[in-house]
Structure 1
Amino acid sequence: MPTRNVVVLAGARTPFTEWAGGKTGGGAPGGALKDLSAIELGAIALRGALEKAGVPGEDVDHVVFGNALQTSPDAIYGARHVALKAGVPVEVPALTVSRICGSGLQAAVTAAQHIRLGEARVVACGGIENLSQAPFVVRGLRHGLKLRHLEFEDYFLAALSDPVCGLMMAQTAEHVARKYRVSRQEQDVYALRSHNTTAKAAQAGIFKEEIVPVQTKGGRIIAEDDHFVSDCTLEGLSKLQPYFSKDGFVTAGNASGLTDGACALILASEDEAAAKRVRPLGRILSWGVAGVPPEEMGMGPVPAVRKALDAAGVGIRDVDLFEVNEAFAAAYIAVEKALGIDRDKANVNGGAIGIGHPLGATGARQILTVLLELRRRKKRLGIATACIGGGQGMAVLLEALT
């Protein structure tokens, strides 16, 4: 069976807003999107992406969405309900995938595989997340309490702990910082860059090309990201206390923002794009997925990027722009050093530290962001990559079609 070139026709995302458990960059309570489930956010993003692509729902052959933490009562239906709520015909199948923080990337790769194998011409894909709706759970209640205390488990906090290595995700970043000699000051300097570049991009209106406004159930219109700190300073970051240990490195300032949001992409075969006379944003060239020790999950992008580059016969210096997920500043810096990435080419409009990290949606956002920026700069190659809890990394190599 002949393979087909896969292109990204268009994409759209909701604003990424602070989860209900935190505060916005301006200090206000978070939770702007707390009453809209991940599925509802996904439907909004998908409708926006279809509109931007000029593709009716009837032309979609398959729908694939990633989701890390299933938090709403209907979350089990995932991509299927995203599709139906977005107006995709009932006959079109849908698939929900999870590779934790790589879920949005995985959705795009799975969609590309459908197209390359000739199983579909147009696939809608992306990622969804609403961390605000993460419940508290009671384990074992179905079997009766008998004689013991009732304990509530924070579903979100529990998910951030990897029982195989016995570490919280932030503690894996501490491990990486120590092993690869990334100082607290280096992390804070990088975090400042992320907040500043995010603020600069937002003020310049760059994200308006990505974002579709969301109307909350209370009638409020949300059209902007709200996690980044526009007046962030190195002094302010340096005063933040490490969360997990007195001599640690990871703080609320140099870790990714916990946010709610969704992002959708419309993928198609290159022939289908030509037939529809749609000018694609870019082409998916290759991808790579790799495993690393769970306690070093932040290093996952290193082998994943190398696999993606090798698959396309491309060198690291050939890449014009990088979107390296900023789960933690320590992890980004260690990956940057290991791969020899020029920082001036990486996360040029901010990353998860400034924009926020709605787990399942981030990878799709990275693909959209890097393709749009490549077009603005009239550059050719970009990488979107993320570390993944449990000890994995994933990377997608993209070519802009200017």
Structure 2
Amino acid sequence: PIGVFGGAFKDVPAYDLGATLIEHIIKETGLNPSEIDEVIIGNVLQAGQGQNPARIAAMKGGLPETVPAFTVNKVCGSGLKSIQLAYQSIVTGENDIVLAGGMENMSQSPMLVNNSRFGFKMGHQSMVDSMVYDGLTDVFNQYHMGITAENLVEQYGISREEQDTFAVNSQQKAVRAQQNGEFDSEIVP
């Protein structure tokens, strides 16, 4: 599912979104869950979800504990990297059937209070938005990904009009595709 920040899915952990999809895939394909060799899922904002969110999604999605799972964090490319790793494991003969993809719920990313484990002696303490810090900030240059976009616009000479045209066309294509039923097999009711 795709939603808006703070919207209908704000109280649903990413692993529950993943589990819903896994359960749906098993039902739709008729696969025996024990036939799945491995689960590889991309997930960036893992703070507070528990160990290995991919494994949580797999088990909550109905897979037996004998099916291994691991979580990939390659920021925005996490889901795509998961699919690439699944493909690679199949091509090399390591696996036959792999469930791969990505799951995220930015609304669930917690606020952090660094250096608070052993308490504070005095002074003010700040909260850190894990969504911004772990997901949207370039750790080497200390700027938001929005600034990265602005830097690319400048580097490649992309006009605001070109950006807006691309965005509108993309949105129109998505709406048209959904209205034409092209996403029906990809949307869990």
TM-score (norm 2): 0.92
1:189 matches 2:160: no
The question of whether the paired residues in 2 share the 8 Å contact of 1:38 and 1:72 is answered with no
Structure 1 residue 112 and structure 2 residue 84: aligned?
Answer: no
CA contact (8 A) 2:43 2:104 kept: yes
Show the counterpart of 2:118.
Answer: 143
Aligned amino acid, residue 69 of structure 1: L
Q: Deviations over 1:27-73 (max 9, x none)?
A: xxxx2111211111101111222233331202111111111111443
Q: Are 2:21 and 1:54 equivalent residues in the alignment?
A: no
Give the CA deviation at 1:95: 1.3
Deviation at residue 105 of structure 1 after TM alignment? 1.1
Q: How many residues align?
A: 188
Aligned to 2:9: 33
Q: 1: CA distance between counterparts of 2:172 and 2:91?
A: 39
* Counterparts of 1:156 and 1:111, CA distance in 2: 27
The whole-number CA distance in structure 2 between the counterparts of 1:111 and 1:40 is: 21
In the alignment, the residues of structure 2 paired with residue 96 and residue 70 of structure 1 have an alpha-carbon distance, to the nearest angstrom, of: 9
Match of 2:2 in 1: 16
AA of the residue aligned to 1:18: V
Q: Distance in 1 between matches of 2:25 and 2:81?
A: 18
Tell me the residue number matched to 2:62.
87
The Cα shift of 1:195 comes to: 1.8
Deviation string 1:216-271 (CA, Å, 9 cap, x unpaired) is xxxxxxxxxxxxxxxxxxxxxxxxxxxxxxxxxxxxxxxxxxxxxxxxxxxxxxxx
- Indicate the residue corresponding to 1:170 in structure 2: 146
Give 1 or 2: higher helix fraction. 2
Contact persistence 1:37–1:72 (CA under 8 A): no
8 Å CA contact 2:52–2:70 kept in 1: the answer is no
- Counterpart position of 1:211: 187
- Which of the pair is proportionally richer in strand? 1
Letter in 2 for 1:117: T
CA distance in structure 1 between the aligned counterparts of 2:131 and 2:44, rounded to whole angstroms: 11
Residue 133 of structure 1 is matched in structure 2 by: 108
Q: Identify the residue that residue 97 of structure 1 maps to in structure 2.
A: 72
What is the CA distance between 1:203 and its match in structure 2?
2.2
| Preserved contact between residue 71 and residue 130 of structure 1 (Cα < 8 Å) | no
Structure 2 CA distance for aligned equivalents of residues 192 and 163 of structure 1 = 31
Unaligned runs of 5+ in 2: none
Within-5 A mapping of 1:217-228: none
Q: TM-score, normalised by structure 1?
A: 0.45
Residues 134 and 155 in structure 1, CA contact (< 8 A), matched pair in contact too: yes
Match of 1:154 in 2: 129
RMSD: 1.5
Q: What's 2:18 paired with? A: 42
Aligned partners of 2:170 and 2:122: how far apart in 1? 51
What is the Cα deviation at residue 209 of structure 1? 1.9
**1:166: how far off?**
3.0
Deviation at 1:107, TM superposition (A): 1.0
**CA distance, structure 2, for counterparts of residue 135 and residue 121 of structure 1:** 37
SS in 2 for 1:81: helix
Structure 2 residue matching 1:44: 3-state secondary structure: helix
Structure 1: runs of 5+ lacking an equivalent: 1-14, 21-30, 214-402
Question: In structure 2, what is the Cα distance between the partners aligned to 1:206 and 1:72?
Answer: 35
1:88 partner SS: coil
Aligned-partner residue type, residue 70 of structure 2: L
